[in-house]
Amino acid sequence: MSYAGAVWLAVQEDLYRGACSELTPKILNSDSRNSSSTDPRGTVQLSHESISRLDIFDDYFLSQCFHFTRQCLTFIVDCIKARMKKDVFRPSSDATSVEAMTLAALYFYAHGFLPRKITDLLGLEHARASDAVNTVSKVLEDMCPDFITFPGTYDDRMGVAQGFKYISGIPNVVGVLGCLHVHVSPSLAEESLFLNTRGYHSVMVQIISDVDGNLLSVEQCCPGGTQEQAVWESSDICQEFNRLQHGQTWVLGGKAMCKAKHVLSPVESSRIKTDAARRFNTAHSKVWKSAQHVLGCLTTRFQCLHSLGAVLVDNLKPVARIVTACCVLHNISKKFSVPLPSKLVLDHLHPDQEMREEEQENFVDTEEAIEDMIEMCFGNSGDEEEQEETKTIEDIENRHKPNGDHNSHNNLSES
C-alpha cells in the first residue's frame, strides 16, 4: 500500500505483543510431541495442556488447510487473542481455545465447510464449530477499521492516485469501486430482491481497492437485486466524498454507476466524439480490470464466498460479517505476501444496469468536469500508446500477485 496507513502492521504487532504477552504459545518440544496421544487412525489428539496447534503441522498442511503461511497464521491468531482479551463483553476463553476457534473459522473461510475431522484435529467440539465461526467473524469484523482504511490525508491520497495515474494516465483516482456478489438461498417470498443481473440470487457488498489490490473500504451488504448506484449513494464513503472530505478526487466505477458524483465511469459509446474520449475509455478499461483481479483473489482464497447458504432480507448481518472477515484477512494476506492457494480465476463483472432518466439529468456538472479532464489528459495522442497498453496490463497483473516484492510485509517504511 502506497500511503502512510500501511503502518497498521507495525501498530498491530505492538498491540498483540503487548496484550498477549501472557498468552504467547510455547513451542512443543520433542517430549510433549511424543506424549501426545493418537487415535487408531494416527490422528494426533491434542491434550488440553498443549498450547499451539500450529507447532504440530507442517507448512504445506497449513497452506492447504487454511490458505495462509505459518507466519501469517501466527499473526492472525495472536491478533484475535489480543482483541478477545480486551473485549470485556465477550465471554473469556483460554489461549488454546481461542486458537482452535480461529483455525476452525479460517478453515471454513478457505473451503466453505468445516468437517468433523478438522474440528477433532483442532481439539474443538464439533457442536461448537458454528459458534466458533460466528465468534471469530465478529472479532475480525471489529478489526476492520484497523486493517481496511481509506487514505485520510492529502499525501496518502496522492500516493494512491499516483499509482493509478502511472498505469492509466487518469489523475486523482483514489480507488476502484466494485461490488462482490456472493450466492445465497433466500426464501421464496424474497427471491426477487436477491436476483442479480447475472440471473442468480446473491448478496452484494461494495468494495473499493487500490492499484495494488488492497481493500480501502468495505460496506453496504445488500440484496443482490439492489442497484449499484443506490448502494453507492447511501454508503458512508459516498457521504464523505459529498462533504469533500477526500478533496477533489474520484473513485473509478463501471457503467452501472451512471456517472454518479465522484465516480469516473467510461464514456458511453453513443457519446464518443473524439479520440480523447476513446483513449480515456481504453485507459479506464485497464484500471477497471483490476476490480476483476481483486474479486478473483477474494473468491479464490476464500471458497466460502462462492455460497453462504440461507439468508433473510431482515437479517443480513451474519452473512455480511463473514464477508467482512474475509476482506480483513485479504488485506493481511497481502501484507504477508501470501500466494493464492490455486490459479486465480477472474470474477466476471455483472452486466450494467440501465440509467434512470432522473439520474441522467442530475449529473450534468459532473459530466462537464469529466469531459474537461478527458480533453486535458487524453487530448494528445502518443506514439507509444500500444507499448503503454501492454506495459499497463502486465503491471496490473504483477501488482496483484500476493507474493510480489512490491507489497512485502517487511517493507513498513512506505509513506
The answer to whether the beta carbons of residues 61 and 107 sit under 8 Å apart is no
Q: Are residues 15 and 132 in the same domain?
A: yes
Q: Are residues 224 and 356 in the same domain?
A: yes
DSSP letter (8 states) at residue 404: S
Tally of domains in the chain: 2
Which of 142, 162, 193 finishes a domain? Answer: 142
Q: What is the pLDDT of residue 415?
A: 35
Q: What is the pLDDT of residue 405?
A: 43
pLDDT tens across the length of the chain (415 residues): 444 444 445 544 454 444 444 333 333 333 434 434 334 334 444 444 456 889 989 999 999 999 999 999 999 999 999 999 887 556 666 777 899 999 999 999 999 999 999 999 999 998 889 999 999 999 999 999 999 999 999 999 999 999 999 999 999 999 999 999 999 999 999 999 999 999 999 999 999 999 999 999 999 899 999 999 999 999 999 999 999 999 999 999 998 886 688 999 998 888 888 999 999 999 999 899 888 899 999 999 999 999 999 999 999 999 999 999 999 999 999 999 999 999 988 766 666 555 444 544 554 557 778 888 888 999 876 544 544 555 555 665 666 666 444 443 344 333 3
120 CA to centre of own chain: 30
Q: Are residues 285 and 350 in the same domain?
A: yes
Which of 90, 109, 142 finishes a domain? Answer: 142
Which pTM was predicted?
0.81
Q: Are residues 358 and 386 in the same domain?
A: yes
Q: What is the pLDDT of residue 413?
A: 36
Q: Are residues 16 and 49 in the same domain?
A: yes
Q: Are residues 109 and 167 in the same domain?
A: no
Q: Are residues 167 and 239 in the same domain?
A: yes
Which of 91, 109, 142 finishes a domain? Answer: 142
Distance CA 176, CA 251 (A): 6
Residue 183, beta-bridge partner list: 202, 307
Instruction: List the beta strands (DSSP E) in 68-201.
Output: 173-186
The answer to whether the beta carbons of residues 403 and 339 sit under 8 Å apart is yes
The sign of the dihedral angle between the CA atoms of 347, 348, 354, 359 is: positive
Q: Are residues 91 and 239 in the same domain?
A: no
Q: Is residue 34 part of a domain?
A: yes
Report strand pairing: 202-209 vs 215-223.
antiparallel
Q: Is residue 414 part of a domain?
A: no
Q: Are residues 265 and 229 in the same domain?
A: yes
- What is the residue range of 378's domain? 148-407
Q: Is residue 93 part of a domain?
A: yes
- Grid look-up 495472536 returns 78
Q: Are residues 251 and 378 in the same domain?
A: yes
Q: Are residues 269 and 133 in the same domain?
A: no
